């Protein structure tokens, strides 16, 4: 009966939303004395509070030479404070100071090798055999300092203190536009959350800075260089974004990550982690007046920044013609297309979002037309990606056996041309709007989910979009869909990547292929999970995930078991790689 009641609630929501009255969340906004913004959403009767904060900085705020530094900070912010993470803070500071002295000397030696590389005297400045004798001596000194620091460190204490207090779901992420940190705590632990989070902002200690930098480099290797299409996708993205800082990967370029210094990191932190560039977000059972006082007491201690963080001013150059990339990989042939579109909050972003939904999913036009109809593809995808500073529309498909990328590409354009020349029916458009409304309802189902939506919307530019986007999507007309399809899906506005299988490489059927035995739907899910698993650097969290997989394995049916076994292998491989890399 409960499921039936929930179903009717959902139906009524969709009906209401379809008339343009989307579900609203009541957020109270405050500004602290130091300029930090606070968003509070009280939900009486909830046993927990989901708390997070978003720093308005991502990889787009970097520059060549320090790409990857925003993501590095995601790691460093868990290293602790003067009271968390060490047995002897004064000794800790002495070791960090000495590490910097040795690192300065090492950087001078690295500069010598780069000069030799430019002259052609060495083939690769990063090969171990090309290191100078002096560098190798300094490396030994630095290794000894790391050993000394680890003897007084309390590993993962920040995480353990939270867990002991009932905290759960602690994590963080970095994107092109934001870096966010979040956790859920019992409702009676709000002040504890205030202390923990304000302390790591007020008095962070970047312990094991260079060791963690190496972990990030390993993460890049696992996420990008060890996947069949990782390097090609990175190249395609760099080609698409010609002048915009979205052109480099969030994880950073391989030459930049090992070159980032702690001094550069300190400067970056001072500019982008100042109070005026941070938004606190709290969702759960609390009194907003008392919550605001606690925020001022704890976070108000953080000194106001001396100058505001700068905006991104470099705009993407308007393309003069189509861009194309042809790549070979140990993967099934596919076609991936990007069109330049619009950023977050742009008036056309809503129609483009609707258009993406018209094309995507198993009930969408691409799947029906290319997988079920012409039978040229196994999988299809389409989505509008409105980021903070610019946007893109991604559309593509994986080729069916015996079908060429050329056939698939032509089929994609045929579907887009229908949208440009024919008017979508009101019924088809309304179905997409209803699905959107249902999806938005699910995103507001609990504290953690609401917090996430506030993080994303605030990070992209305005938390109020959590309420405003629904009505704007519902207001999209069939004429709007036709107009944006005509305006943005042009040849000169696109970049096309075609992937073919490397000569001599068999298609991934059976054997050691991780996708063997999976349905097409399961393959899609695993591909999405693969990136998330490879970006996770917390071994304990991965081991906990492994326990949950093993617990589910016993009761799994014949269809689910291959999926869980694949998931298990990916998590196990990631754990092994991290443990090997940190020994």
Instruction: Quote the distance between the C-alpha of residue 77 and its chain's center.
Output: 17
How much is the pLDDT for 269? 95
What would the pLDDT profile of 452-473 be if each residue is shown by its tens digit? 999 999 999 999 999 999 999 9
Q: Measured between alpha carbons, how far is 199 from 82 in angstroms, rounded to an integer?
A: 9
Q: In Å, what is the CA distance from 493 to each residue of 323, 414, 422?
A: 9, 17, 21
pLDDT at residue 131 tops 70: yes
Q: Measured between alpha carbons, how far is 518 from 384 in angstroms, rounded to an integer?
A: 28
Q: Measured between alpha carbons, how far is 186 from 171 in angstroms, rounded to an integer?
A: 16
Mean pLDDT of the 568-574 span: 79
Choice among 295-299, 302-306, 397-401, 439-443 with the minimum mean pLDDT: 439-443
Each domain of the chain, given as residue ranges in start order, spans 28-85+154-219+250-299, 323-507, 509-583
How much is the pLDDT for 361? 86
Q: Quick check: 349 and 343 in contact, CB under 8 A? A: yes
Mean pLDDT of the 502-526 span: 59
Nearest to 486 by CA among 367, 285, 348: 348
Residue 568: in which H helix or E strand, if any?
helix 560-582
Q: Measured between alpha carbons, how far is 33 from 276 in angstroms, rounded to an integer?
A: 10
- Average pLDDT over the chain, rounded to an integer: 88
pLDDT at residue 21 tops 70: no
Measured between its terminal Cα atoms, the distance across the chain in Å is 54
What would the pLDDT profile of 176-214 be if each residue is shown by its tens digit? 999 999 999 999 999 999 999 999 999 999 999 988 888
- Neighbour tally for 170: CB within 10 Å: 19
pLDDT band at 552 (very low <50, low <70, confident <90, very high): low
- Is 323-507 in the same CATH topology as 28-85+154-219+250-299? yes
Report the CATH number of the 323-507 domain. Answer: 3.30.830.10
Mean pLDDT of the 42-53 span: 96
Structure tokens of 379? 């999988």
Mean pLDDT of the 295-317 span: 95
Residue with tokens 């056996």: 401
pLDDT at residue 561 tops 50: yes
pLDDT at residue 550 tops 70: no
Mean pLDDT of the 478-485 span: 98
pLDDT at residue 82 tops 50: yes
pLDDT at residue 582 tops 60: no
Decide yes or no: CATH 3.30.830.10 for domain 28-85+154-219+250-299. Answer: yes
Percent of the chain at pLDDT > 70 equals: 88
Q: 258 vs 566, which has greater pLDDT?
A: 258
How much is the pLDDT for 553? 55
pLDDT at residue 144 tops 60: yes
């Amino acid at each position: 009966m409960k499921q039936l009641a929930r179903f009717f609630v959902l139906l009524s929501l969709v009906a209401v939303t379809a008339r343009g009255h989307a579900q609203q969340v009541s957020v109270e906004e405050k500004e602290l004395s130091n300029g930090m913004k606070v968003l509070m959403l009280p939900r009486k009767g909830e046993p927990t509070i989901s708390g997070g904060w978003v720093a308005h900085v991502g990889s787009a705020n970097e520059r060549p030479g320090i790409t990857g530094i925003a993501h590095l900070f995601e790691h460093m912010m868990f290293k602790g404070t003067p009271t968390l993470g060490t047995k002897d803070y004064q000794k800790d500071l002495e070791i960090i100071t000495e590490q910097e002295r040795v690192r300065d000397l090492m950087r001078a030696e690295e500069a010598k090798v780069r000069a030799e590389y430019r002259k052609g005297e060495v083939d690769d400045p990063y090969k171990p055999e090309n290191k100078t004798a002096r560098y190798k001596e300094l490396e030994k000194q630095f290794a000894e300092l790391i050993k000394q620091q680890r003897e007084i460190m309390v590993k993962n204490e920040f995480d353990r203190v939270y867990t002991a207090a009932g905290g759960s779901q602690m994590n963080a992420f970095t994107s092109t536009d934001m870096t966010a940190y979040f956790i859920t705590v019992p409702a009676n632990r709000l002040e504890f959350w205030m202390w923990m989070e304000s302390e790591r902002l007020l008095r962070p200690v970047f312990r094991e800075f260079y060791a963690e930098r190496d972990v990030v480099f390993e993460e890049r290797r696992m996420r990008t260089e060890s996947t069949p299409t990782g390097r090609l996708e990175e190249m395609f993205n760099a080609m698409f974004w010609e002048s915009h800082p979205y052109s480099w990967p969030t994880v950073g370029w391989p030459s930049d990550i090992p070159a980032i210094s702690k001094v550069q990191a300190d400067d970056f932190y001072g500019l982008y982690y100042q109070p005026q560039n941070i938004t606190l977000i709290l969702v759960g059972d609390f009194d907003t007046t008392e919550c605001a006082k606690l925020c001022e007491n704890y976070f108000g201690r953080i000194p106001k920044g001396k100058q505001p963080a700068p905006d991104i001013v470099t705009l993407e150059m308007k393309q003069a013609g189509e861009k194309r990339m042809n790549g070979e990989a140990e993967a099934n042939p596919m076609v991936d297309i990007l069109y330049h579109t619009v950023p977050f909050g742009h008036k056309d972003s809503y129609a483009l979002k609707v258009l993406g939904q018209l094309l995507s999913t198993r009930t969408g036009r691409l799947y029906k037309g290319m997988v079920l109809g012409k039978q040229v593809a196994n999988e299809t995808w389409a989505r509008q990606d409105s980021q903070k500073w610019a946007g893109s529309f991604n559309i593509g498909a994986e080729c069916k056996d015996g079908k060429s990328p050329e056939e698939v590409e032509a089929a994609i354009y045929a579907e887009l041309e229908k949208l440009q020349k024919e008017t979508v029916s009101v019924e088809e458009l309304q179905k997409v709007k209803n699905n959107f409304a249902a999806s938005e309802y699910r995103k507001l189902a609990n504290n953690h989910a609401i917090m996430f939506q506030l993080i994303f919307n605030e990070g992209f530019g305005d938390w109020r979009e959590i309420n405003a986007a629904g009505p704007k999507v519902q207001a999209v007309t069939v004429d709007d869909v036709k107009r944006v399809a005509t305006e943005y899906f042009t040849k000169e506005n696109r970049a096309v990547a075609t992937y073919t299988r490397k000569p001599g490489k068999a298609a991934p059927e059976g054997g050691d292929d991780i996708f063997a035995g999976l349905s097409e739907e399961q393959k899609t899910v695993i591909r999405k999970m693969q990136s998330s698993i490879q970006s996770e650097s917390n071994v304990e969290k991965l081991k906990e995930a492994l326990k949950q997989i093993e617990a589910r394995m016993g009761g799994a049916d014949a269809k689910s078991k291959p999926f869980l076994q694949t998931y298990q292998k990916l998590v196990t491989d990631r754990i092994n790689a991290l443990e090997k890399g940190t020994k």
